[in-house]
A and B are shown apart, each in its own frame.
Chain A
């Protein structure tokens, strides 16, 4: 109850007229995962978020972590991989929890070969877990080869849930970058045609959940290390947001439902809800 009230307070303080209903991510769910973005600063707030992820894992044992890109900022030597990834997430890594990364603008292209990002040397790839398939794209360069691969992979995917991850958001109320419309015009027809359910992005250093667009739910999780405090200006498109502190997201898929909680660095649930698997009538 106290957590619920605090989430209401935080959301209200951030300027939202209505807080999301509590929808706890249950430990008994079929598939559980965490989402972080723009995290690799190597600074204290990133470590705080990582500790909060570990605490959350004790209650909601997520099986893997999705990374939205900008996985490392600044120099990217072996020492930086330790300081900005291996040490903060060390306890989770030692538990055998894999991290799956998308590339952001600050990531060196060769980072796709870093084993702990599980990209197998690919800029774009997909991973199937349970009833969901996760597609990771490189929105720095949406070349023809990637677009053809993406369409083919979407067409062949048989999983119940299709979840797409890329760095640059195509819907955003962030003050710094806003939506990338060129990428939206290129990608959205495929997302709609092949019944994608959820899109996760980063780049904008805030948390935001967008009102479903053409039946697709959009999240920005770009504040798991970086933060642009006050960097969100809500619009009619905004369902929820949090720009006062760092945050990450945990989600669980149980049949046709995806429950999620956005959790702040200090452990406050700042947004939560349940998405229902997209059906054609929602278009």
Chain B
């Protein structure tokens, strides 16, 4: 009897242990924490055995950055597109004007600061790296604001829209840059064929994601390569053509929608998690002593230039007679402006997409990683201003 009881206890303990492990794994996966984990491993490896690390990183860079990241970017695009559909978490146009202004002003603030700094330091070779200074890490900003505000707070939507618009503008500018080679008519034709195949699948009532990704996505990937646009964006134009349901839950929600349309997306989530982990491994490893002008320019542009841009633009609009939305106060706007300062994932992605191996990329990568200090500054400023949960804390005390 006693041995049965012991066996039962062991089983219960094992089940509890497994449950804890599962919950931790879910926590890590839901928050895309495999990316920073990959970065940390890469950083340690690069400091301790750099030759081995860079051989590994350069060997996997192409499949990870140009194919694997297409899956990750498609997932982000899918979440955001559905959130913008009627009934979605970000569907209302009513409050989009302010995030639009914040996005443009933050972008201008960060880019102008970046160019002022590299101009003052006389390092014009760093100019092509500006997108890394302008990028906003959506997931980092989202979870940061969620730490400060309740889940249903409109501040969360404000942050997400600001970040999405910022990254969309940067990616559009980067994609539309003058091509180093003549744009092939054949490439554009292939791209049109990719879109047409997705439309046909949709008209044919195909619900599964797989045909869209494998047929239309592959055509789009080859077409973008041909046109000289980063192929990691290949699935993004396909996303609006997929069968969609209104996203009932919030963007980046812990618990995904449980409808048939999203089943394929859940399967792809696993692939995206592996992709972002490998992305962190391939691109996050830098030798920290190579921090230089580009590092400081990216960091200062993101952490100082962007919030100054956002706050200045909104102050000018208010001074011109417009009123802030009722649910937003200046302290909330300050917190959102600061929460967009972490570039991390998107800064790394844009750095890797725009810059080849070389000294400039190393400096910029360190700067992109260093923008995590923006998260700490955001929490500190939220505490000082008494924003969100900190306000309740102040009131209680």
Contacts and interface: CB of A to CB of B under 8 A. Distances in A.
A144 B123 contact: no
A182 to B, nearest CB: 5
Contact of B54 (A76, A107, A181): A181
B245 interface: no
Contacts, number: 83
Given A139-B358, A185-B51, A180 B290 contact: yes
Given A141-B355, A167-B359, 7 more contacts: A108-B125, A141-B358, A141-B360, A168-B359, A181-B50, A181-B54, A185-B51
Nearest to A179: B50
Contacts of A3: none
B180 A145 contact: yes
B323 interface: no
A75 B123 CA distance: 9
B124 A181 contact: no
Interface residues of A, number: 32
A183 B123 contact: no
B122 A140 contact: no
B125 A181 contact: no
Ranked nearest first, the 10 interchain pairs of A and B with the lowest CB-CB distance are A181-B50, A143-B356, A185-B54, A108-B124, A142-B358, A141-B358, A142-B357, A140-B125, A140-B360, A182-B54
Contacts of A140: 125, 358-360
Interface of B: 46, 50-51, 53-55, 57-58, 122-125, 127-128, 180, 286-287, 289-290, 292-293, 355-362
Contacts of B362: 180, 182
5 contacts: A109-B124, A144-B356, A168-B359, A182-B362, A183-B359
Nearest to A111: B124
Nearest to B55: A185
A74 interface: yes
Contacts of A105: 123, 125, 292-293, 359-360
A182 B352 CA distance: 13
Contacts of A100: none
Interface in A113-166: 138-146
B60 to A, nearest CB: 13
A228 interface: no
A276 interface: no
Contacts of B57: 182
